[in-house]
């Protein structure tokens, strides 16, 4: 026996760590069972000793047994290519690191460490022991029977975890490798690597499963899938995904069996160093490394499979791709060919610059590369053209690729020490860590459209090479266009060189998402906010204080009631009236009264560009005139005034407060333009003449509410029977310059009151009801 165990045995009992169970137990030293047992050993130079036991049950005559694995060390303070810079585990000194290849020993003698095991006749087993450091060590037994060639096997008492997927189409070369975990000693390994993050977590653990899917080769291709602890298939926020490729000779099991990606994820999640995410591994060896076919399979088969069967995000920025060795070359091809398919790329110990393209999207994702200090994928260890880590680093520097993050040289070789470090670095420091505003900005500039979880942003107009322009922010997405509770609101950003103007502030349902958008569109600019009216679904982000205190906020005096004053107390409020303008360097918006929805509803007209930001003042296909005194009379007067202001604008576009309503339901009007204004005035005239159709309106569950339509017009009015009576009982009050105003004329056949208790659209749970009741108006001077 080794001197370390002989000395430990004198203590009688000791704490031991069984590699097969990874749990601490107290047992007598003489009860070591077959397998690999790690014990705390104060006499070991690393603080720990591993004890291997192999018991042969073949019935054959054994000539010799050896244990082999990456148990050799190099000294980083010496020349790595020095012939004597190769040490066995008994020679370990604090500061050295384990490596599967010692460059100084050359290609013939530099790989791994092998020790002949000693036969213990009394126990009938072969034994070996030596110091072990922190990390995961893949070991095998070399068994030589008399008269036969030596064979390499995994430990029968601790089988290779690479065998966990019995359905694998391609066997991995790691099926003969068992795993033993060393541990970190803060004193004796203080100058060496702490790789304990590859050990099983003592906290919550995710689950690992292997599944078959239909790929572009067959209907039974294999995936490995790590799901974080507590995975919820119904969680509102979908999970982000890391797709990982193995290297040559591997398969879908390697990243978990040898690289311990599942343990790394558990430990990082439990320590709060990354967010919950899914890891998906694949079998790329089946393709004989045909990169084009692999890319097609990932993009058109694996990703759709995951998005169909698991609760994963479809956002590019929520996907990452990485790989090692040949998988690193695969990742390089994926990056150069499809830079817009993933938000992050991790290239470990292998690249292929022959795959280089000149796509402008190469600057969008975050890319990192790593290599081992003793790695044959480094030009410092082995020569090669266009396939070395340094080739990629040089290209990134020569082309000023600001999105490239050099992960550098990591202690180790072309081995799992380096690849576990690389994956941990990728997950902890790279993925999801890119500034969310930067991710959003890149996607928006590239596509004129981007989603930030629950919010969708569309660039309506402006400079295509900068942020300057007009943006529609919708509290709904392509997959959920109506938004939360069918009440998604529309907000509009007008971005200029020095100022960003936000029109309306939404419900505030998704303040975290809104903040990303707001920060991106107002970077290095002064932000101001113009409110069309004071209902809760248009001032939510002000209520939530997502918008910074002290920000200038424009609102009409008619809507600046006591409740709104209290809500906006932290802001620089400027009362705005009809005819006032809000100006930026390139834009000028004039305030236009559209009262009726609220007492102070206002729209903002960009006359130069013929754009009207209407809020809820004329609705998004139907207008609610349900909350104010005699709303139809005031509304008609303001609509007539608006018509005379814009009647000559042939290209007028109306941007409303709930854009999704333009395409929702049987009465959806579609695009809002001058025709919508004309239809609204025709409907008002039909109401006045008694020709409009009315039916009970129950969206608010109030008696007396009615929905009014007329003769197929786009416009719809929801109001009260009392408001109709008030409107038809007396003439519309005169307005200034009435004799000069034009009103579109229509011929109106009479239509009876249907009295149906139906609703144009279900809007249950609207947040505006909390603030849309009768307001007590308090007159204030402009501020």
pLDDT score for 6: 33
232 close to 271: Cβ distance less than 8 angstroms = no
How large is the C-alpha radius of gyration of the chain? 35
Asked if residue 761 has pLDDT above 50, the reply is no
What is the predicted pLDDT for the residue at 665? 67
Mean pLDDT of 649-660: 93
Summarised one tens digit per residue, pLDDT across range 723-737 is: 999 999 855 444 444
Q: Name the pLDDT band for 14 (thresholds 50, 70, 90).
A: very low
Q: Is a pLDDT exceeding 90 seen at residue 434?
A: no
Angstrom distance (rounded) from CA 160 to CA 176: 6
Tokens of 634: 């005031």
Q: Mean per-residue pLDDT for 429-440?
A: 80
List for the chain the helix, strand, coil content (%; round to 5).
25, 25, 45
pLDDT recorded at residue 748: 38
Q: pLDDT grade, residue 489 (50/70/90)?
A: very high
Contact, 629 vs 597, CB < 8 A? no
Rounded mean pLDDT, 265-270:
96
Mean pLDDT of the residues in the chain: 88
* Res 26 pLDDT > 50: no
Which DSSP letter does residue 300 get?
I
Give the per-residue pLDDT at 662: 82
Q: Bigger pLDDT: 9 or 224? A: 224
Note the pLDDT of residue 480.
66
The count of other CB atoms within 10 Å of the CB of residue 359 is 14
Task: Note the pLDDT of residue 634.
Answer: 95
757 secondary structure, DSSP code: B
In whole angstroms, how far apart are CA 48 and each of 15, 126, 188?
A: 11, 20, 9
Exposed e or buried b per residue across 177-209, where buried means at least 16 C-beta atoms within 10 angstroms of its C-beta: bbbbbbbbbeebbeebbebebbbebeeebbebe
8 A C-beta contact, residue 375 and residue 414: yes
Q: What is the pLDDT of residues 551-604, one digit of tens each?
A: 999 999 999 999 999 999 999 999 999 999 999 999 999 999 999 999 999 999
What's the pLDDT at 170?
A: 87
Quote the pLDDT of residue 746: 41
pLDDT of amino acid 464? 78
Look at residue 151 and give its three-state secondary structure.
strand
pLDDT tens digits for range 268-281 = 999 999 999 999 99
CB 247 within 8 A of CB 328: yes
The first and second tokens of residue 609, run together, are 């560009």
642, containing H or E segment: helix 631-646
Q: pLDDT of 54-90, one tens digit each?
A: 999 999 999 999 999 999 999 999 999 999 999 999 9
What is the DSSP secondary-structure string of 193-217? Answer: ---GGGSPPSS---EEEEEEE--SS
pLDDT confidence tier of residue 486, bands split at 50, 70 and 90: low
Percent pLDDT > 90 in the chain is 76
Q: What is the largest CA-CA distance in the chain?
A: 118
Cα–Cα distance between 353 and 336 in angstroms, integer?
9
Q: Which residue has the tokens 């395409």?
A: 663
* Confidence at residue 445, expressed as pLDDT on a 0 to 100 scale: 84
- What whole-number percentage of the chain has pLDDT above 70? 87
Give the mean pLDDT of 664-672. 77
Which tokens go with 305?
């499979």
Q: pLDDT-derived band of residue 742, with 50, 70 and 90 as boundaries?
A: low
Examine the pLDDT at 417 and tell me if it is beyond 60.
yes
Residue 30 pLDDT class (50, 70, 90 cuts): low
Q: How confident is the model at residue 672 (pLDDT cuts 50, 70, 90)?
A: very high
Q: Measured between alpha carbons, how far is 70 from 136 in angstroms, rounded to an integer? A: 10
Contact between residue 2 and residue 88 where contact means Cβ atoms under 8 Å apart: no
For the cut 50, the answer to whether the pLDDT of residue 779 exceeds it is no
Q: What residues form DSSP beta bridges with 502?
A: 493, 529
Strands (E) located in 438-549: 449-452, 455-462, 469-474, 490-495, 499-503, 526-530
Q: For residue 253, is pLDDT > 60?
A: yes
Query: Is pLDDT above 50 for 491?
Result: yes
Query: Contact 694/708 with Cβ under 8 angstroms?
Result: yes
Tokens representing 280 are 């998906």
Which three-class secondary structure string do you get for 575-631?
Answer: EECCCCEEECCCCEEEEEECCCCCCCCEEEEECCCCEEEEECCCCCCCEECCCCCCH
Model pLDDT, residue 165: 86
Residue 23 in this model has a pLDDT that exceeds 50: no
Question: What pLDDT does 481 receive?
Answer: 62
Which residues 6+ apart lie within 8 Å of 345 measured at CB?
A: 320, 321, 322, 331, 334, 335, 365, 366, 367, 368
Q: Which of 474, 476, 468 lies closest to 492 in space, CA to CA?
A: 474
Band of the pLDDT at 762, cuts 50, 70, 90? very low
| pLDDT band at residue 781 using 50, 70 and 90 as cut-offs | very low
Please determine, for residue 308, whether its predicted confidence score (pLDDT) is greater than 50: yes
Pick from 132-146, 341-355, 713-727, 748-762: least confident = 748-762
User: For residues 660 and 731, which has the higher predicted lDDT (pLDDT)?
Assistant: 660
Across the range 480-491, mean pLDDT stands at 72
Q: For the beta carbon of residue 387, count every other beta carbon within 10 angstroms.
A: 18
- Strand bridging mode 602-606 / 611-615: antiparallel
């Amino acid at each position: 026996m080794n001197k370390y165990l002989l000395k430990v045995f004198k203590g009688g009992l000791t704490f031991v760590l069984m590699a097969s169970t990874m749990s601490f137990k107290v047992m007598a030293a003489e009860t070591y069972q077959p397998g690999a047992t790690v014990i705390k050993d104060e006499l070991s130079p690393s603080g720990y000793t591993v004890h291997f036991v192999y018991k042969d049950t073949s019935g054959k005559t054994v000539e010799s047994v050896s244990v082999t694995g990456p148990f050799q060390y190099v000294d980083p303070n010496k020349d790595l290519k020095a012939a004597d810079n190769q040490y066995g585990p008994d020679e370990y000194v604090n500061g050295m690191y384990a490596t599967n290849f010692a460059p100084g020993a050359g290609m013939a003698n530099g790989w791994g460490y092998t020790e002949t095991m000693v036969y213990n006749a009394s126990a009938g087993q072969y034994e070996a022991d030596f110091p072990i450091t922190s990390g995961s060590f893949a070991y095998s037994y070399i068994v030589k029977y008399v008269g036969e060639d030596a064979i390499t096997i995994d430990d029968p008492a601790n089988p290779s975890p690479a065998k966990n997927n019995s359905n694998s189409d391609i066997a991995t070369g790691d099926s003969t490798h068992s795993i033993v975990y060393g541990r970190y000693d803060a004193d004796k390994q203080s100058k060496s690597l702490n790789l304990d993050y590859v050990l099983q977590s003592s906290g919550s653990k995710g689950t690992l499963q292997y599944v078959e899917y239909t790929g572009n080769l067959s209907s039974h291709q294999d995936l490995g899938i790590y799901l974080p602890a507590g995975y919820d298939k119904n969680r509102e926020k979908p999970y982000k995904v890391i797709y990982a490729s193995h290297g040559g000779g591997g398969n879908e099991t390697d990243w978990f069996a040898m690289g311990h990606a599942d343990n790394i994820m558990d430990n990082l999640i439990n320590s709060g160093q990354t967010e919950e995410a899914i890891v998906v591994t694949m079998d790329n060896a089946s393709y004989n490394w045909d990169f084009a076919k692999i890319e097609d399979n990932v993009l058109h088969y694996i990703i759709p499979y995951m998005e169909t069967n698991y609760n994963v995000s479809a956002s590019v920025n929520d996907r990452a791709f990485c790989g090692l060795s040949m998988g690193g070359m695969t990742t390089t091809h994926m990056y150069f060919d499809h830079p817009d398919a993933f938000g992050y790329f991790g290239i470990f110990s292998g690249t292929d610059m022959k795959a280089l393209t000149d796509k402008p999207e190469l600057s969008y994702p975050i890319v990192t590369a790593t290599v081992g200090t003793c790695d044959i994928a480094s030009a410092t260890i082995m020569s090669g053209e266009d396939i070395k880590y340094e080739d990629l680093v040089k290209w990134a520097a020569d082309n000023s690729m600001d999105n490239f993050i050099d992960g550098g040289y990591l202690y180790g070789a072309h081995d799992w020490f380096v690849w576990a470090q690389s994956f941990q670095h990728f997950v902890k420091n790279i993925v999801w860590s890119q500034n969310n505003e930067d991710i959003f900005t890149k996607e928006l500039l590239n596509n004129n459209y981007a989603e930030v979880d629950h919010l969708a942003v569309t660039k309506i107009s402006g400079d295509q090479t900068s942020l300057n322009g007009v943006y529609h922010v919708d509290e709904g997405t392509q997959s959920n266009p109506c938004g939360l509770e069918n009440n998604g609101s529309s907000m509009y950003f007008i971005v200029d060189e020095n100022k960003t103007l936000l029109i309306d502030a939404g419900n505030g349902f998704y303040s975290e998402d809104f903040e990303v958008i707001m920060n991106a569109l107002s970077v290095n600019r002064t932000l101001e906010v113009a409110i069309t009216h004071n209902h809760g679904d248009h001032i939510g982000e002000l209520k939530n204080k997502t918008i910074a205190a002290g920000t200038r906020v424009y609102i009409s005096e008619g809507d600046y009631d006591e409740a709104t004053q209290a809500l906006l107390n932290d802001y620089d409020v400027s009362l705005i009236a009809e005819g006032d303008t809000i100006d930026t360097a390139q834009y000028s918006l004039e305030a236009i009264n559209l009262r009726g929805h609220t007492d102070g509803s206002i729209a903002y007209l960009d006359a130069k560009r013929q754009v009207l930001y209407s809020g809820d003042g004329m609705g998004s296909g139907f207008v609610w005139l349900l909350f104010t005194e005699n709303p139809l009379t005031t509304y008609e007067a303001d609509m007539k005034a608006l018509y005379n202001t814009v009647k000559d604008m042939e290209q007028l576009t109306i941007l409303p407060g709930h854009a999704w309503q333009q395409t929702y339901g049987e009465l959806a009007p579609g695009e809002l333009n001058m025709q919508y204004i004309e239809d609204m005035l025709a409907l008002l005239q039909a109401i006045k003449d008694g020709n409009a159709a009315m039916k009970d309106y129950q969206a608010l569950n109030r008696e007396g509410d009615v929905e009014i339509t007329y003769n197929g017009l786009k416009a719809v009015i929801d109001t009260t029977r009392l408001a109709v009576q008030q409107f038809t009982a007396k003439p519309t009050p005169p307005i200034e310059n009435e004799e000069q105003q034009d009103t579109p004329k229509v011929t109106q056949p009479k239509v009876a009151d249907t009295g149906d208790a139906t609703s144009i659209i279900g809007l249950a749970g609207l947040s505006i009801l909390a603030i849309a009741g009768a307001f007590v108006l308090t007159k204030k001077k402009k501020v």
